[in-house]
């Protein structure tokens, strides 16, 4: 997508703010510089996609730069697996950080030096209170905090203790370094926040070099200023952290100017939540660890890796983000809108194939024994450039079990005893006899066909309302089909605080169909391709779930578009 198109699509308040900064020359000789700063403690989800695409797109529109920086300051929860998955997800979405891949751990040395300078300036101190005591001393929203008894240690004592913290002399939780700001501030984040803590835990990149690690609220703004980020875009819950962000950046500019490239500015935008979904990384981790799903990339998960395996495309996700927009107020987007976006894309791009998910056999009794014909069918309706394919037709077929009823209601136009229906792209057949097994379940339908009703060359004059799909039994390829649905049964699974969100998991979120017969053209598609199984939905050839001799296909979405119906009614 070119910048011209980006400008036409981008109308949010952040774009307007940056446009004004550029036009007024507020950036001086700097170009617009944004970043996406994930913590490598889990997989990214679709809410992160908003931040990724927003930051990348804004940098591109204004001919600026976009960084990827991992804020890897908590070695307890961070893993290389998450780093690798995040990079793969961002590339897949189409965001390019070029040669600007950074890690907060790259700057641990300069951050330690900055902390020393804060201590020397009397703006930081080592505190011996434990976590619970710090919380008690902090006060409440209506009552001011109480100064720590260690707040007025001498600079020399603080320097000595902080150096000994770095050397590993003290156990975890015994001491912290706090910024000395204002214990009476109306903003709790400014009441002497902790900026370093002791963690005797090896880091996935720095190993055992450090046993003290900077806190996020200290690390993040310093990294932004050090990298020269002009516009630090973050989610709305960090609004109350902005004064601390500014305090860190201002002190860095004053006390350590040689490492500050720009006075970064924080701007907040709303988080994105999705119906029938949970977005909390803690809850997603629980789904994975307690095996309610098959991993972070389970196609039912809202993770980008999961959505990629489900079969969503980067274009559909970008379209969804554009439609939802960017605002200052948190909102819940309708999952149906996301599904609508992928349907719109695949409607005109996905080739059609026939598969029978719940088969019942049809025997055409007047078909010439041992013979078959090739039926020509269009690959994409209305798109001649997509070409056609030939599908073998014979005297034994599979049709969907629910395309037949023994005692049909008035408006049932498919197959029934004594009734006719058209087989897609082939002939009209009539059901003459129903065969059942010992339990009374229909096992076979005996039918006749009318040779004058071949599609494209029908001379019979017959008119039938029903058209159903089919697969010839002798030519069928067998595959595995995963029918995915919403992971939760209610729109807001976290809404009821007294009920564990796990109780709202949809037991039918995955239905597996084994040995599904599909027309032989399926053998020509490749892993990672998308297509429509006629009348059943859009599907994705999943290379992860496929096994030798048994391809696996994930349903991306069903054909029914509830969002389009709601939109049209509106």
Does residue 378 carry a catalytic annotation?
Answer: no
Are the CB atoms for 98 and 34 separated by under 8 Å? Answer: no
Does residue 271 carry a catalytic annotation?
Answer: yes
Q: Collect all residues with Cβ–Cβ distance below 8 Å to 355 and sequence separation of at least 6.
A: 469, 471, 479, 481, 516, 517, 518, 519, 522, 533, 534, 536, 553
Catalytic residue among 39, 268, 339, 519: 39
Reduced 3-state DSSP string for 507-530: CCCEEEEEEEEECHHHHHCCCCCE
Q: How many angstroms separate the CA atoms of 316 and 4, rounded?
A: 20
Three-class SS state of 125: strand
* Per-residue exposure over 299-308, b if at least 16 CB sit within 10 Å of its own CB, e if not: bbbbbbbbbb
- CA-angle at 360, arms to 359 and 363, nearest 5°: 130
**How would you class 37 by CB atoms within 10 Å of its CB: exposed for 0-12, middle for 13-18, buried for 19 or more?**
buried
Catalytic residue among 30, 263, 271, 446: 271
Does residue 410 carry a catalytic annotation?
Answer: no
Query: Cβ of 98: how many Cβ atoms within 10 Å?
Result: 9
Catalytic residue among 57, 69, 265, 281: 281
**Distances from the Cα of 179 to the Cα of 125, 191, 218, angstroms:** 7, 8, 9
| C-alpha neighbours within 13 Å on the C-beta side of residue 21 | 20
Q: How many angstroms separate the CA atoms of 471 and 395, rounded?
A: 11
Query: Cβ of 180: how many Cβ atoms within 10 Å?
Result: 19
Token pair recorded at residue 17? 């703010």
**Distances from the Cα of 161 to the Cα of 212, 408, 450, angstroms:** 12, 84, 93
Active site (catalytic) residues: 39, 271, 281
């Amino acid at each position: 997508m070119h910048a011209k198109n980006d400008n036409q699509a981008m109308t949010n308040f952040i774009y307007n703010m940056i446009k004004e900064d550029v036009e007024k020359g507020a950036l001086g000789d700097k170009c617009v510089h944004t970043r996406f700063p994930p913590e490598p403690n889990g997989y990214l989800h679709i809410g992160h996609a908003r931040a990724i695409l927003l930051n990348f797109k804004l940098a591109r529109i204004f001919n600026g730069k976009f960084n990827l920086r991992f804020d890897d300051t908590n070695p307890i929860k961070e893993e290389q697996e998450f780093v690798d998955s995040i990079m793969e997800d961002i590339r897949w979405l189409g965001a390019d950080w070029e040669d600007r891949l950074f890690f907060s751990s790259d700057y641990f040395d300069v951050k330690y030096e900055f902390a020393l300078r804060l201590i020397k300036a009397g703006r930081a101190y080592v505190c011996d209170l434990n976590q619970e005591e710090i919380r008690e001393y902090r006060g409440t929203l209506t009552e001011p905090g109480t100064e720590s008894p260690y707040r007025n240690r001498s600079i020399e004592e603080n320097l000595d203790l902080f150096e000994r913290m770095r050397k590993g002399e003290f156990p975890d939780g015994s001491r912290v370094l706090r910024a000395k700001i204002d214990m009476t501030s109306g903003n709790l984040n400014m009441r002497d926040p902790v900026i370093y803590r002791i963690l005797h835990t090896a880091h996935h990149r720095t190993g055992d070099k450090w046993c003290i690690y900077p806190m996020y609220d200290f690390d993040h703004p310093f990294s932004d200023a050090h990298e020269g980020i002009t516009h630090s875009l973050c989610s709305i819950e960090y609004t109350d952290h902005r004064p601390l962000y500014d305090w860190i950046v201002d002190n860095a500019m004053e006390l350590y100017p040689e490492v500050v490239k720009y006075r970064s500015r924080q701007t907040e935008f709303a988080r994105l939540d999705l119906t029938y979904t949970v977005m909390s990384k803690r809850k997603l981790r629980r789904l994975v660890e307690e095996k309610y799903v098959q991993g972070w990339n389970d196609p039912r998960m809202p993770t980008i890796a999961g959505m990629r395996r489900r079969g969503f495309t980067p274009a559909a996700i970008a379209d969804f983000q554009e439609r939802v927009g960017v605002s200052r107020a948190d909102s819940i987007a309708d999952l149906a809108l996301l599904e609508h976006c992928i349907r719109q894309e695949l409607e005109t791009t996905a080739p059609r194939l026939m598969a029978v998910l719940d088969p019942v056999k049809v025997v055409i009794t007047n078909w010439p024994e041992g013979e078959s014909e090739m039926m020509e069918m269009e690959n994409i309706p209305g798109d001649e450039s997509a070409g056609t394919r030939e599908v073998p037709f014979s005297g034994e077929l599979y049709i969907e079990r629910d395309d037949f009823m023994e005692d049909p209601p008035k408006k049932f136009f498919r197959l029934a005893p004594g009734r006719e229906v058209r087989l897609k792209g082939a002939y009209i057949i009539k059901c003459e006899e129903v065969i059942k097994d010992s339990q009374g379940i229909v096992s076979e339908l005996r039918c006749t066909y009318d040779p004058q009703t071949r599609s494209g060359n029908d001379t019979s004059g017959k008119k039938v309302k029903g058209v159903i799909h089919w697969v010839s039994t002798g030519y069928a390829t067998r595959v595995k089909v995963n029918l995915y649905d919403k992971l939760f049964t209610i729109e807001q699974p976290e809404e009821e605080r007294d009920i564990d969100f796990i109780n709202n998991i949809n037991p039918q979120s995955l239905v597996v169909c084994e040995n599904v017969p599909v027309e032989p053209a399926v053998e020509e598609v490749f892993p990672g391709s998308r297509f429509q199984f006629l009348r059943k939905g859009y599907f994705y050839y999943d290379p992860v779930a496929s096994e030798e001799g048994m391809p696996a296909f994930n349903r991306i979405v069903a054909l029914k578009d509830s969002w389009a119906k709601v939109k049209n009614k509106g």
